[in-house]
Structure 1
């Protein structure tokens, strides 16, 4: 006749533990039946264990469950019942437990954030682009970062993106979807997920109405702005002073000027040649910026300060060592211009308008200098050196015109 096992109770367990502490010279097992027991060791440890026979080898095995009282009697019984169900299905609880732990470990290393950060290491981007992308990644990390990437659904990703869309941040939402798509593609290559769920929501997010960068096109107002920029010395860093003075003359994208490298500046021939970030991954076409006498003098002065650095506008603080993305607009605002009156990017529109309407230069040369693709009468795009002599004349005329506006403002 099989030995009858009386089930444990918390009261009985506590009494047995108290008695064992008085004479802990021997180990003790408190059985609850069906393989579950509480193991009391000689050092006062109390551990739940489960004895069973392996389904294939038929050898006896023991599985640790946890420590009492952290694992209560009721919880220990649930584990036992779960293990017995596995045995009934011819599964080994030890093997199943190890597989579960391995899956949990893999899930931690295969979270969206972990995979995304590994992908970010493979990107070769300009510092300004890295800084801009950081916001998109952080928004995604806050919502989905800890989730295993293979468990994230298209519905989840769409919900996160639409939160920003509802706030009117259409570009941010679309950029988040785009960056997520790149991460999922990377994960698919590594075998961490089967599909790119970001592709499933492509075209669903709204496109916000494009806002034009504010620009000053009134000559008198532009003269006042240039005069205030010259008076900026006592307000900001000397590096910021130079970027503000040069930008109106060259009218490139502010990010391209902030990240300008001395290796691209030819002071002897008064030329700045670089590949804009917008065309780097597509056409790879270089933009040549002829430097007027005024701009050349400013760059020569700046070279005395930052000539030993990689970047022309090298900063002495911050991780990237270059001026931040918001420096130019914040500086213009500090000069007394309200939000929306003018922006660093607006100098491009200013130059395009006044070079055409006031100085009467051909719109094709202006567009070409702006870095836009311009085609000839046969539909062929002009190469980067086409009409360079004309553009040299145009850029010098533009700087002379800006100086005349500033002189006029000084007399008023």
Structure 2
């Protein structure tokens, strides 16, 4: 583009004084210096051009002199002219680049993780305790290294370095990798990145396959209750261990029992589907028939609950339940490490039910398991909760535990 105006020089610009009114000094080819009136008296570079789309004359602010020199202003305008030749509006391109820069600040791994946890992950993991535990995993192991990086900049090598720090903890490594992959998938669905190959990061690591939770034999239950009696546990801890046997639910479900869920008249514990384990679209409410032993625990815990909404309130705050690790840690401390876990209690109950020839569908319903297979018959069984059939079986389980030495007077204290 040929110049039609004599080019400016540094001396002219330096000597340009502010007047009562704003005036323009032109360098040619659309580059102008706007000299503001007093009291500010600032000098601002302006690019005047014809918008390639609208064909209207447009002013685009480049910046203040002398922060932007004459040579720099000319270079910037050369770039703008190149855009115009391609049919691109420099002003729109400037906005796009500014937005891209903002996105690079906003779309860090931590921010995308927050978006994921506050959005779709709430549907996948209904239990807030699960979400909190997984967020802490990210804070402890991931954010210190890539939390402030734009998701597009996260490379497999960076993840390999992070994973190597927990390589000896298969379960932690597995969960971290699942979380990182889920956050990166979320970045794709939000249009932040096109793709990622983060799943390759785990290829160099050996993740131990899941092993069944250890459990004791039926004939070992009396010794367990003897050991727990001798351990002089707190009333709440002993009650929670017994409750785990009497309800046969998962540790997180057992410890989160709330008084509002207990129907004393019908002798039922009605758990909303949001608190049950499983995929969001397959979760369903679960009702536990309460044996006389389970009801006795509730009666005694009522005296210790201190107006808490939870049957098993935490020691530091009655607005929260006890830790879901309480049963596991209690068993470990009292000689049952690698012999029995909280989940292993469910396996024990399953063995007991099998030994008493309890129908498989009733047994699986007690454990809140969906039957696999997907045929019409199994789907029908899954829709039926076998509540009536479970009532005598749960009492049978309660009686057996009591016969084996479960001493609920320890809860009364």
TM-score, normalised by the number of residues in structure 1: 0.67
- State the match for 1:303 in structure 2: 302
- What 5-or-longer segments of structure 2 have no aligned partner? none
Residue 361 in structure 1 maps to residue 360 in structure 2? no
Which structure 2 residues correspond to residues 80-95 of structure 1 after superposition, within 5 A? 80-95=77-92
Q: 1:62 is paired with a residue of what secondary structure?
A: strand
What is the alpha-carbon distance in structure 1 between the residues aligned to residue 115 and residue 134 of structure 2? 15
| Equivalent in the alignment of 1:395 | 398
Alignment pair present for 1:176 and 2:176: no
Change (3 A) 1:113 1:366: closer
Task: Answer yes or no: is 1:8 the counterpart of 2:10.
Answer: yes
Deviation string 1:366-405 (CA, Å, 9 cap, x unpaired) is: 6553334579xxx865852335324422322123313379
CA distance in 1, matches of 2:399, 2:184: 45
Residue 36 of structure 1 is matched in structure 2 by 31
| Equivalent residues of 2:246, 2:397 under 8 A apart | no
Alignment check: 8 A CA contact 2:261 2:269 kept: yes
1:267-316 CA-partner distances (Å, limit 9, x unpaired): 34543343572357465566554434333222112234548654323448
Aligned residue number for residue 265 of structure 1 = 262
Matches within 5 A, 1:234-313: 240=237, 242-274=239-271, 277-279=276-278, 281=280, 284=283, 287-306=286-305, 310-313=309-312
Q: Is the 8 A contact 2:156 2:198 kept in 1?
A: no
- Cα distance between partner residues in 2 of 1:336 and 1:44: 82
Taking the aligned partners of 2:106 and 2:72, their CA distance within structure 1 comes to 29
Secondary structure of 2:45 counterpart: strand
> Aligned equivalents of 2:263 and 2:311: distance in 1?
12
Aligned equivalents of 1:16, 1:341: Cα separation in 2:
89
How large is the Cα RMSD of the aligned pairs? 5.0
User: Per the alignment, in what secondary structure is the counterpart of residue 278 of structure 1?
Assistant: coil
Q: Look up the SS of the partner of 1:232 in the other structure.
A: coil
Q: Does 1:78 align with 2:75?
A: yes
2:206, 2:296 → 1: CA distance? 47
1:253 Cα shift? 1.0
Q: 2:42 — aligned with what?
A: 45
Give the corresponding residue for 1:343: 341
For residues 96 and 90 of structure 1, what CA distance do their matches in structure 2 show? 11
1:212 aligns with 2:209: no
In structure 2, the residue corresponding to 1:403 is in which secondary structure? coil
8 Å CA contact 1:7, 1:31 repeated in 2: no
Distance in 2 between the 1:347 and 1:76 partners? 75
Deviation at 1:64, TM superposition (A): 0.7
Alignment correspondent of 1:322: 321
Please state if 1:112 is matched with 2:112: yes
The count of residues paired between Structure 1 and Structure 2 equals: 380
**Distance in structure 2 (CA, Å) of the matches to 1:195 and 1:2:** 46
Q: 1:67 to 1:290 in 2, by over 3 A?
A: same
- For the Cα contact (< 8 Å) 1:5–1:31, is it kept in 2? yes
**Which whole-Å CA distance do the structure 1 matches of 2:92 and 2:257 have between them?**
59
For the 8 Å contact 1:55–1:91, the answer to whether it is kept is yes
Structure 1 pair 331/34, CA: closer, same or farther in 2 (3 Å)?
farther
For residues 280 and 253 of structure 1, what CA distance do their matches in structure 2 show? Answer: 15
After superposition, give the CA deviation of every residue in 1:16-63 in whole Å (9 maximum; x if it has no partner): 48xx5xx77565656655433444432143433223344466654321
After superposition, the Cα gap between the structure-2 partners of 1:216 and 1:197, relative to the gap in structure 1 and judged at 3 Å, is same
Shift of 1:95: 3.5
The alpha-carbon deviation at position 257 of structure 1 amounts to 0.7
> Cα distance 1:319–1:265, how it changes in 2: closer, same or farther (>3 A)?
closer
